[in-house]
Structure 1
Amino acid sequence: MEPLSAEEIRRSFVNSTKSQVKSMALPAKFTELPWESLDFLGWRDAKAPNRGYLVVRRDGGVTGIAVSTQASGAARRFAGLCDLCNTAHHVSDVALFAARRAGTAGREGNTVGMYICADLACSLYIRGLKELDVPQGETAAPEVRADRLTTRLESFVQRVLA
């Protein structure tokens, strides 16, 4: 992913009010992000842990989506699977994120949801740059997994925009 400025990120959000975007905390160590290893920028808000953000470069520019989740419970021994990157985690490390739809549908309270890595670090998991505690059955190369992630993410963005 090509690096983005803080201003580009803040302007990209399609399902947030101006005041929500203004109060949003950017990722920790923003200037040190491994942009070359990211398929999208995803992070949890340090000031509001139940909020997260996904920022995606697309043909039409940059699209940002605010998502929310409930606080995760105690760790359990079962595995959960991220719908974006197909990475297995302990079930408490995968969260159901809901995104308010853009436009009128969102103002009417309509949302779409997806189970995603709780830390929104899908790009790092598929490249083996972040360690996993659950054995993986995935044998595809990181490039193939990145292509699949991009396709699934675009589908999610389209559902938010629809």
Structure 2
Amino acid sequence: MDPLTPADIRASFVNATQGEAERVPMPGLHEVIWAEREYLGWRDPQAHHRAYLVHWAAEQPRGILLRSSEFSLQPGIAAMCSLCRITRRADEISMFTAPRAGQPGRDGNTVGMYLCDDLACSHLIRILPPAHPLQPDPAQLLAGRIDGLNSRLQAFTASVMKPA
């Protein structure tokens, strides 16, 4: 992922008003290892139900405002993130909704997806199994995970931007 500045991030939101984008709290950008990210995702430290996701699409950053559900999945079961497709404990996966861009979003239309609660998909896909003759090459496995994550991220963003 190419590095982002606070100005890039604030200008990237496709489903927020200018005022909402100006109030988005910035994550610690100086700590980000950009080469190991497909997107930048973070939770609002003042309002944990709010989250933000920014990635590059068509040579420009695209940001999405998210809201996590106040309800959690049933404890004791496994759940899968729709972006990274990694199975985790139910308390580590949350339903996130994003208002659609433009008038449909102002009218209350949203798009939802089960995501890793900590939005750490970029880190999780890099945890690879040990090399083994019966396993795919780790580099190929990682490349496939990255491609899949990017493809699903682009599709989610397109659904947020699509008129209802």
| TM-score category of the 2 structures, normalised to the smaller one | 0.7 to 0.9
Number of positions where the alignment pairs a residue of Structure 1 with one of Structure 2: 152
1:100 corresponding residue in structure 2: 99
Report the equivalent of 1:34.
33
1:137-152 alignment to 2 at 5 Å?
A: 141-152=141-152
Following superposition, the deviation at residue 71 of structure 1 comes to: 3.8
The answer (yes or no) to whether the contact 2:93–2:116 under 8 Å persists in 1 is yes
Separation in 2, partners of 1:81, 1:13:
26
Residue type at the aligned position of 1:54: L
User: Which residue of 1 is the match for residue 135 of structure 2?
Assistant: none
Letter in 1 for 2:144: V
TM norm structure 1: 0.88
Contact 1:75 1:90 (C-alpha < 8 Å) held by counterparts:
no
State the Cα distance separating 1:21 from its structure 2 match.
1.4
Q: Distance in 1 between matches of 2:96 and 2:147?
A: 21
Identity of aligned residues (%): 39
TM-score by length of 2: 0.87
What runs of 5+ residues in structure 2 fail to find an aligned partner?
129-137
Moved over 3 A (4+): 71-75
User: Would the aligned equivalents of 1:72 and 1:92 in 2 still touch at CA under 8 Å?
Assistant: no
Which string of whole-angstrom CA distances, capped at 9 and with x for unpartnered residues, describes residues 62-93 of structure 1?
11000001246598221110000001111011
Q: Return the index of the structure with the highest Cα Rg.
A: 2
Structure 1 distance, partners of 2:110, 2:74, is 27
**1:40-83, Cα deviation, whole Å (9 max, x unpaired):** 11111111110111101011411100000124659822111000
CA–CA separation in structure 2 for the residues paired with 1:42 and 1:60:
18
In structure 2, C-alpha distance between the alignment counterparts of 1:84 and 1:35, rounded to whole Å: 18
CA distance in 2, matches of 1:144, 1:52: 26
